[in-house]
Chain A
Amino acid sequence: MSRTDWEVVIGLEVHAQLNTASKIFSGASTAFGAAPNVQASAVDIALPGVLPVLNRGAVERAIRFGLAIGAHVAPTSVFARKNYFYPDLPKGYQISQMDLPVVVGGEITIRVGEGEAAYEKTVRLTRAHLEEDAGKSLHEDFHGMTGIDLNRAGTPLLEIVSEPDMRSSAEAVAYARALHALVRWIDICDGNMQEGSFRCDANVSVRKKGAAAFGTRREIKNLNSFRFLQQAIDYEVQWQIDTLEDGGTIQQATVLFDPDSGETRMMRSKEDAHDYRYFPDPDLLPLAISDEWKARVKEEMFDQIGLLPEDWRKKFVDQYGLSRQDAIALTPFPRAPIVFEDAALAAAREGESVTDVAKVAANWVINEYLPRWNASAERHPDIAIPEGVHGSIVGYLIRLVRENVINNKTAKDLFDEFWQRAEAKFFDSHGGTEHDVDRLIEERGLKQVTDSGAIEAIIDEVLAANPKSVEEFRAGKEKAFNALVGQAMKASKGKANPAQVNELLRKKLTG
C-alpha cells in the first residue's frame, strides 16, 4: 500500500497573543523581554485574596476577530477555570472559556500551491476563546533547580480552533499563514512567532481514502514557525501511515516536535491526560457583549484599518478585473491595497480608467513595492513602516513609462533610489515627490531616446563593432540578437526605447 491510499486530516489550534498593553485580568504590562518577574502584579502571582478583572481591550480584539471571519460573536460567554498544578501556573488554574466561548463559527479562505496547480479552499473555524497565558519555567542556569518567570502569566490569548478541514501539511501551512496575516491585519496580535505571539498546535490523523470515520488523532504541541509546522505534520503523517501499515494502531496522544531531529515524540498518552475539572469562574461575571458594543468595535476597526482583506480582493477581482491570485498578493497588510489603488489612479492617463492600468499597477506593487517593503521590514523590525514610497509616485513612474518619457529600467532605478532615501529617514518621508521625479529626469538626462534617427545611428555603430554576433545571428542563433539589443541599450546609456531598438535592429539585420 502506498501513501496515496491514505487521506490526511488536520485541524489546528492557534494561540494568538492579543496585543493589549496590560494583561487580561490585571494591570501589569505585557511587554516582552523584561527582567524576570518585574511584570507580575499581585494578581499575576496569585497572592491570597486577589481577584481578576477582565480587560475590555482583550474582549474587543476577540470581537474584531469574530467580525473579520464572519463568526457569531456570543452575546453571553462564560469564563471557566481549568484546574491543574504547575509551578508557572500561579493560581493552580488557568482562566479560560469552555462551554460558552466568545466567538463561534466563521471561516477563512486559503490559497494553496503555486501557479497552475494553485487552488482555493475554505477552512471552517469551530470557535475562538479568550484565556490567560501561563508563566515560564526556566530549567537552565539554576544549578539543577527550576526558575519561574511570571511576566507572561496573565497575558491575553485568543485560542482559535479550526475544524479538521485540512488535508495536507501544505493546506495547514496555508491556513496558518492566512490566519497569521489576518490577526495582524486587524491589529489584534503582533504575530511575532519567535517571541511566541502566534503558536500552533496541530491535530493530525490519517484514514483510508473513502473512509467515513476519522482516524485516531495525535496532537503536536507548540509549533512556533511555519516550517516546523510543515515538517512536524509531514513526519507525523508518515509515522502514522507506517505504524498502521505495519499493523499497528494509533493511540490518542499529545506529542512534541523536535526541530533538531525532525521527529515527533510522545509527551503524554490519553491515559495520563489531566482531568481539568472545568467549572465557571465564580470571580467573573458572564461576559455580555451587546449589539451596540459590537457595532462600536466594527466602526473603530473600519476607521483604523479600512476594508478587510477579503473585501479588497472582491473589489479587485470584480471592479478592476484582476486575477484572484493578484488580488491575494495585493492584500498582505492593510496599507498594501491602498498603495495599489493610489498607484493605479496615478498611472491612468487622460481618458483611462483604473481598470485599464490595474494589471500593470498590480505588477509594480507585487514585484517592486512589496519585496522592498518586506526587506525593509526585516531590516528594521523595530519600526512600523507607514508606507515607504507613496503609491501615487509608483503610479506616476508607470505613467511616464507608458507615455514613453522614460523606460522601465529608469523607472525602477528611480523607485529604488526613492525607497532607499525613505528608508534612510526611517520612513518618515516618502523619498521624493513627482516634482523630484521630473527634476531628476531633467538633471540626469534620463529621458528616453525615441528619435528613430538617433537610435539607428547607435545600432549602426553596434553592428559595426560586433561582426561576430551579426554572423551568429545570421547563422540562426537568436541569442546573438539579444546580445546586440543589450549592446545597443548600453550604448544609449539605457535611455533608448527598447521596443524601438528591437524593431529597428531586426529590420536592419533581416531587411
Chain B
Amino acid sequence: MINASLVELRRALDARQISSVELATLFLDRIAALNPQLNAFITVDRDGALTAARDADARIAAGQAGALTGIPLAHKDLFCTEGVLTTCASKMLANFVSPYDAHVVSLLKAAGAVSLGKTNMDEFAMGSSNESSFYGPSKNPWDPSRVPGGSSGGSAAAVAARLTPIATGSDTGGSVRQPAAFCGITGIKPSYGLVSRYGMVAFASSLDQGGAFGASAEDCALLLGAMTGFDERDSTSLERPVEDYAAALAAPASAKPLEGLRIGLPREFFGEGMADEVRAAVEAALEQYRALGATTVEVSLPNAKLAIPAYYVIAPAECSSNLSRFDGVRYGHRAAEYGDLADMYSRSRAEGFGDEVKRRILVGTYVLSHGYYDAYYLQAQRLRRLIAQDFQAALAQCDVIAGPTTPTTAWALGAMADDPVQMYLSDIYTIAVNLAGLPGLSHPCGFGAGSLPIGLQLVGDYFSESRLMNTAHRFQQATDWHQRRPACAQ
C-alpha cells in the first residue's frame, strides 16, 4: 500500500479496502519510525491528520469523494497552515503558528486531502541541500549520508521514503526539480502565476512558485490539478480555467505515443560540468523518448550561462526586502535582551536568521543600494529578459526542452558547506527556467554510483504543464525508474 499510486489509493479508498484513517495511520506510523533518521518532517500533525481522515471517510461514505479525498500528503513548511506551526525551517519562526491557511493549503483541505504535517526545507527556501535548516538537514533516503537536495528537500525525501504519497513544495531556482532528481521522484514547478502564492512565505516573489511532488507524473498531475486556480488575493495569480491534468493523461496507449513530439536539446545543457554518469543516464532516456516516437533537435540558449549571476542578484534583492518583516516586533523571534530599537532589530535578526539567509540579505541589500542599483539590479533584469527570449526562440523549434536536472547526483552532507558559490553553480540547469517563468518537470531516468538517482528535466512553454506531465507519463509507462524505491521503502 505504501508504494501504491494515487489512482490505486483512490480505488482502494472507494472500494473500502482501506479507510482514510487507516491510510493516514499507516503513513504516520512510517513517519514515527523513519523520521528520526531522515528528518524529513519538522512538524507531524497526527491529531489533525486523523481528524481530517475521519472527515474524509465520511465524505467517501456519502459518495462525495473527489480525486484527493482521504489521500495523505505533506506541506513544505513555508505554506501557512492555520493552527499548525509554520517555521520556514528558521529559528525566526520557530514559534510561529499561522492564523490562516495558504491558498494552496485551503484548496487541498477542501479537496479532502489529509495533511500529515510540515516538511523540512532550507531556511526560508534558501539553499540547495537542506543543510541551512534550523532543524538540521533532512537526509537522502537512498543514502542518509547524502543531501536530499533543496530547498524542498524534506518533501522530496518524504515522498521518496514513502512517508507520504505526495507533497507540496516551492521552486524559486530549482527547489522542486533538484530535490526530486536527487531523491528519485517526480516533481513539477508550474508556470509563474498558476499557483497562488498567498500564504506561501515569500523568498523571491517574482520567482517563487508552488509545485508538486509525487512518485510519478500521474501523481503530480492529480496533486497539481488541485493546487491551481485563480486567487484574487495574489495579484500575480493568472485568471485562466483550471485544467484537468490527470484526465489529459488518459489517452489510449500505443507503441509510439510521442509520435510528432519534438524535443529540443540545448547545446549549453550538454557541455562541460555534467558528470559522466548523469550524461549517460540522460542520453539513454533520450533514446527511450525517440523509441516512443519523439524526435530530438539541437537548440541553443546562449544566455543560459548568465542565469546564475542574474538570479543571485534578483533573488537576494527581493529576499532582502521580503524578510524585513521579520523584525521581532509583532511575531517570531525577538532577542531576550536588547538596548534600543536598533539593537532589538539587529540582535533579533542576528539570532533568528542562519548564515545563508544573512548572506543573501546582505547581497540583496548591497545590490539595491544607491549607486549600485543600475549596475546590478537593472542589469540582472536585462539578462532575465534575454534569457526568457532565448527560451522563446528555442521553443519555436521544438515542443519541449530536455536535459539533465542537475550536473551531479546528490552530494555528501557537508561537502559544500564551505563553498556556497559551488552550491549555487549546481543549480545551473534549473534557475534559468524560473527567470523565464516557464514550467519545468524533473523525472527519474536512472542511477549513478552508489545507487543515487538521476533526474531528467523537461521544460515547456507557458501553461504547457499538461504536455510536460503527459510526456513524462508516456516515458514512465514504458520504464520503471519511477517505481524504484530506496531500501527504507521496500
- Chain A residues with CB under 8 Å of chain B are 42, 45-54, 81, 83, 85, 87, 90-93, 148, 275, 277-279, 282-285
Besides the known contacts A279-B368, A285-B236, 20 further A-B residue pairs in the complex with CB atoms under 8 A apart:
A47-B80, A47-B99, A48-B80, A48-B202, A49-B79, A49-B98, A49-B199, A50-B199, A51-B197, A51-B233, A51-B234, A83-B321, A83-B368, A92-B321, A92-B325, A279-B373, A282-B204, A283-B202, A283-B235, A285-B235
B:299-348 near A, CB below 8 Å: 317-318, 320-321, 323-327, 329-331, 341, 345
Q: Is A148 within 8 A of B234, CB to CB?
A: no
B114 close to A (CB within 8 Å): no
A52-B235 CB under 8 A given contacts A90-B325, A277-B321, A279-B317: yes
State how many angstroms separate the Cβ of B96 from the closest Cβ of chain A.
Answer: 7
B479 in the interface (beta carbon within 8 A): no
Binary per-residue interface labels of chain B (179-213) against chain A in the complex, 1 for a CB within 8 Å, 0 otherwise: 00000000000000000011111101110000000
Q: Report A52 CB to chain B, min CB distance, Å.
A: 7
Query: A50-B199, A93-B321, A277-B365 are known contacts. Are A87 and B373 too (CB-CB below 8 A)?
Result: no
Is A81 touching B321 in the complex (CB atoms < 8 A)?
Answer: yes
In the A-B complex, the 8 residue pairs with the closest CB atoms: A92-B324, A277-B368, A282-B206, A282-B205, A49-B199, A48-B201, A46-B325, A49-B80
Q: A85-B345, A283-B236, A285-B236 are in contact. Are A49 and B198 (CB under 8 A)?
A: yes
**B93 x A48 contact (CB < 8 A):** yes
A40 to nearest B CB, angstroms?
10
B389 at the interface (CB under 8 A from A): no
Shortest beta-carbon distance from A286 to chain B in Å: 11
Contacts of A45 in B (CB 8 A): 330
A sample of 13 inter-chain contacts (CB < 8 A) reads A47-B331, A48-B201, A48-B325, A48-B326, A49-B198, A49-B200, A52-B235, A53-B234, A85-B324, A90-B330, A277-B369, A279-B321, A285-B235
Q: Which residues of B contact A81 (CB under 8 A)?
A: 321
B residues in contact (CB < 8 Å) with A: 78-80, 86, 88, 93, 96, 98-100, 102, 197-202, 204-206, 232-236, 317-318, 320-321, 323-327, 329-331, 341, 345, 365, 368-370, 373, 377
CB distance from A20 to the nearest CB of B (A): 17
Report the separation of the CA atoms of residues A45 and B88 in the bound assembly, to the nearest whole angstrom: 19
A273's nearest neighbour on chain B, judged by CB, is: B370
Q: Provide the residues of chain B in CB contact with A49, threshold 8 Å.
A: 78-80, 86, 98, 102, 197-202
List residues of chain A with CB within 8 A of the CB of B331: 47
Q: List chain A residues, Cβ under 8 A from B80.
A: 47-49
Contacting pair B327 A85 (CB below 8 A): yes
* Interface of chain A, main secondary structure: loop
B interface majority secondary structure = loop
B283 to chain A, nearest CB (A): 38
Closest-by-CB residue of B relative to A91 is B325
Selected contact of B330 from candidates A46, A54, A275, A284, CB within 8 Å = A46
Q: Chain A residues near B320 (CB, 8 Å)?
A: 83, 277
Q: In the complex, are the beta carbons of B234 and A48 less than 8 A apart?
A: no
Name, among B86, B200, B233, B373, the residue most crowded by chain A CB atoms within 10 Å (CB to CB). Answer: B233
A54 → chain B closest CB, angstroms: 7
Give B411 Cβ to nearest chain A Cβ, in Å: 30
Docked Cα-Cα span, A91 to B202, in Å, equals 12
> Nearest A residue to B344 by beta-carbon distance?
A87
Q: What residues on A are CB-neighbors of B329 within 8 Å?
A: 87, 90, 148
Which residues of A have CB within 8 Å of B345?
A: 85
B369 adjacent to A48 (CB under 8 Å): no
Question: What is the minimal beta-carbon distance from B441 to any residue of chain A, in angstroms?
Answer: 24
Q: Which residues of B contact A53 (CB under 8 A)?
A: 232-235
Check B198–A51 contact: CB distance below 8 A. Answer: yes
With both chains docked as a complex, state the minimum distance between the C-beta of A210 and any C-beta of chain B, in angstroms: 34
**B327 contacts which chain A residues (CB < 8 A)?**
85, 87, 92
CA distance A278 to B205 in the complex (A): 15
Q: Bound complex: CA of A92 vs CA of B325, how far in Å?
A: 5
- Closest residue of chain B to A275 (Cβ to Cβ) is B370
Q: Contact between A282 and B318 (Cβ–Cβ < 8 Å)?
A: yes
Task: Say how far B93's CB is from chain A's closest CB, in angstroms.
Answer: 7
In the assembly, what is the distance between CA of A251 and CA of B365, in Å? 28
Pick from B86, B204, B233, B321: contact of A48, CB under 8 Å = B86
Q: Which residues of B contact A54 (CB under 8 A)?
A: 235
A312 to chain B, nearest CB (A): 39
A42 to chain B, nearest CB (A): 6
User: Does B88 contact A48, Cβ atoms closer than 8 Å?
Assistant: yes
Within the assembled complex, what's the spacing in Å between the Cα atoms of A48 and B197?
11
B432 to chain A, nearest CB (A): 18
Please indicate the chain A residues that have their CB under 8 angstroms from the CB of B202 in the complex. Answer: 48-49, 283
Which residue of the partner chain, among A50, A91, A282, contacts B324 with CB atoms under 8 Å? A91
Note all chain A residues with C-beta closer than 8 A to B198: 49-51
Which B-chain residue is minimally distant from A42 (CB atoms)? B100
Chain B, Cβ-Cβ closest to A284:
B235
